[in-house]
A = this chain, B = another copy of it.
């Protein structure tokens, strides 16, 4: 039977979201009767606000069960344009919006619409692993730029970003409010990135999945910088702000010329996003925001608790970032003290001894030459305060013994 299946060559370049592999190990550990403290996956254990659920139910009962236009229902596209014009000072209309089954599909559609085989694409490393996977799968050359530790948070290494540009560089992916590090751009960073993009005529994917997961201050989009609106596609998702990860509703926003191609990809790939879920997304944007506020408030408390408890562990140093629901502590000394130099045996020992399930630097790309510090990623979106306390208590005992 084996010789009847012949996989395409490109399949060898396909990566996975390695956090799902960590999840599988955690599930196996739990299946053996052990308690697991799930810090590994950016899923959420908070309920979707009830008004959003009711809006979906109403839409279904009202017969919103057929295909929608490929780019989404006009109401949702208009509501998104209005939302962005308010929060990002853009001048979008519904022509600049293509609804997607989640934020993630924007990554492949951006690349399929704009990248030729052999084009070089800059992407953050560490970073969301799907960037590198999709660039390579569709024939591009994935060129990483680093994220560096700073005084109070991580930041983008813009000198390295520009130094990596060659005459074959066409696209730039920026994930301001960054997974896994929570890095964010300063006003000067935003200006510099826009200058780089304009100077080298790069087309840009702005992954703003965490734009609204902000505890202090205000998120400012790179789209507001000079020259960006005409060259950028924004990845937007309803997953995080409204605890709707499993609903699979997001959108691509950008120049009409690109959005038209992305809508054409919708025709070819999935026809449209789930009809009633699009009505739910309208309610999320335009209805009562009490649910979203409560979600954010819960996440803020979890962040404070997790940061405090991590910093209370000997050999662990963790910033308190103002956005996202990820922490990326430096655990170099703690790992050394525990006698580990490689991540996987360390993660396995932590899981086996404490039930704490976490991702490591290696799940977000290959270490840069000369990279010496060790990092873990803790997501606190899917774990209650009580379990954060219990899990990190056990981790402290394990690491300090």
**CB atoms of B65 and A247 under 8 A apart:** yes
Number of copies: 2
A5 to B231, CA, bound (A): 6
A246 to B73, CA, bound (A): 11
Provide the residues of chain B in CB contact with A350, threshold 8 Å: none
The closest CB in chain B to the CB of A18 belongs to B267
The closest CB in chain B to the CB of A247 belongs to B274
A29 within 8 A of B: no
**CB atoms of A11 and B60 under 8 A apart:** no
A115 within 8 A of B: yes
A244 to B67, CA, bound (A): 9
**CB atoms of B64 and A268 under 8 A apart:** no
Provide the residues of chain B in CB contact with A67, threshold 8 Å: 41, 43, 245-246
**Which of A254-262, A305-313, A341-349 lies on the face that meets chain B?**
A254-262
The closest CB in chain B to the CB of A134 belongs to B268
The closest CB in chain B to the CB of A255 belongs to B5
A273 within 8 A of B: yes
A203 within 8 A of B: yes
The answer to whether A248 and B268 touch (CB under 8 A), given A4-B203, A112-B8, is: no
Q: What per-residue 1/0 map shows which CB atoms of A266-282 lie under 8 Å from chain B?
A: 01111111111100000
The answer to whether A16 and B267 touch (CB under 8 A), given A203-B4, A257-B7, A274-B101, is: yes
A218 within 8 A of B: no
**CB atoms of A7 and B274 under 8 A apart:** no
**CB atoms of B268 and A130 under 8 A apart:** yes
The closest CB in chain B to the CB of A232 belongs to B4
Provide the residues of chain B in CB contact with A271, threshold 8 Å: 17, 102, 104, 248
Most buried by B among A8, A11, A63, A231: A8
Most buried by B among A116, A273, A276: A276
**CB atoms of B230 and A5 under 8 A apart:** yes
The answer to whether A104 and B5 touch (CB under 8 A), given A65-B244, A243-B65, is: no
**CB atoms of B268 and A270 under 8 A apart:** no
State the A residues within 8 Å of B (CB): 1-2, 4-11, 14-17, 20, 41, 43-45, 47-48, 53, 56-57, 60-61, 63-68, 70, 101-102, 104-105, 108, 112-116, 130, 133-134, 137, 170, 201, 203, 227, 230-231, 243-248, 255, 257-258, 261, 264-265, 267-277, 382
